[in-house]
Amino acid sequence: MLKYGLAYGLLSSRRRARQMLLPAITIATGAFLVVIVFAMSAGIKKQATALGHADEIGHAIVLIAVTVLLVGVVEAAVATTRTIAHRTRELGVLGATGVRSRPVLVALLVEPVVTAFFGALGGAVLAAVAGAVLGAVGAAESGVSASGTVTGLVIAVAVSVVAAAVTSVVPIWRAVHHPPIKSLSAS
């Protein structure tokens, strides 16, 4: 049954690609910042060590990275809330026609996860390209590390996808179990 929910989720994600653009861009922004921070962190740490403030600056970099990741998580949650609000009547129709709630839950989870994956991947790749260009022209004094870029890319995509899934489960579960009569009367 769940595979049919997955199939419906992929179909709706494909057809609703335009509506997913804005949430994807907001997630991409978060991913961009994560990759940039990770790409430059090694160089910044090296400079900090030379200046004798390695620990303080190291902590500051971790703080910035965590903050940026949290922003990404919040963006993923906001994107899900927006999606559910747009699809309330659809949920009402599915409930009124007696479709079971579990495959519907899976179907609705697909969209935020797909949005988070492509948004984060887009933002991360853009950041990697930007980092490479900055490094090549010598605009980044701290330097841009390839391993930091890859680490940042993996973390940005993974955190965005996991955050989208985790922050979506509860609101989607609630929406799916909302009485269909109330979902149908939603504007």
Partner 1 sequence: MTVTEPASMSVAPSGGPVVKVTDAWKLHKLGDEIVRALVNVSLEVQPGEFVCLMGPSGSGKTTLLNIIGGLDRPTKGIVAIAGEDTSKITESQFAALRHDAIGYIFQSYNLIPFLSAMENVELPLMFEPYDRKALRKRAIDLLNLVGLGHRLDHQPAKMSGGEQQRTAIARSLISNPTLILADEPTANLDHRTGEVVVQTLRDLCSKLGVTVVASTHDPAVAEQASRVVRMKDGQIQAE
- C-alpha to C-alpha distance for 108 and 165, rounded to whole angstroms: 10
Rounded to an integer, what distance in angstroms lies between the CA atom of residue 127 and that of residue 15?
Answer: 28
Smallest gap from Cβ 108 to partner 1, in A, equals 12
Whole-number minimum distance, CB 62 to partner 1, in Å?
Answer: 42
The span of 9-17, 53-61, 123-131, 164-172 binding partner 1 (CB under 8 A) equals 9-17
Out of 103, 119, 123, 131, the only residue in the binding site for partner 1 (CB under 8 A) is: 103
Sequence-distant (≥ 6) Cβ neighbours of residue 166 within 8 angstroms: none
* CA-wise closest residue to 31 among 83, 82, 68: 68
187 sits near partner 1 (criterion: CB under 8 A): no
Using rule CB under 8 A, residue 165 touches partner 1: no
Of 28, 36, 104, 120, the one binding partner 1 (CB under 8 A) is 104
Question: Torsion angle of alpha carbons 133, 138, 142, 144, nearest 10°?
Answer: 30
Binding-residue pattern over the window 81 to 100 for partner 1, x denoting contact by CB under 8 A: --------xx-xxxxxxxxx
Contact region for partner 1 (CB under 8 A) — 7-15, 30-38, 50-58, 160-168? 7-15
Distance in angstroms (rounded) separating the CA atoms of residues 111 and 103: 13
Tokens of residue 178, six digits: 């909302």
Extract the tokens encoding 121: 């991947």
Residues forming the site for partner 1 (CB under 8 A): 1, 4-5, 7-8, 11-12, 15-16, 89-90, 92-101, 103-104, 107, 179-181, 184
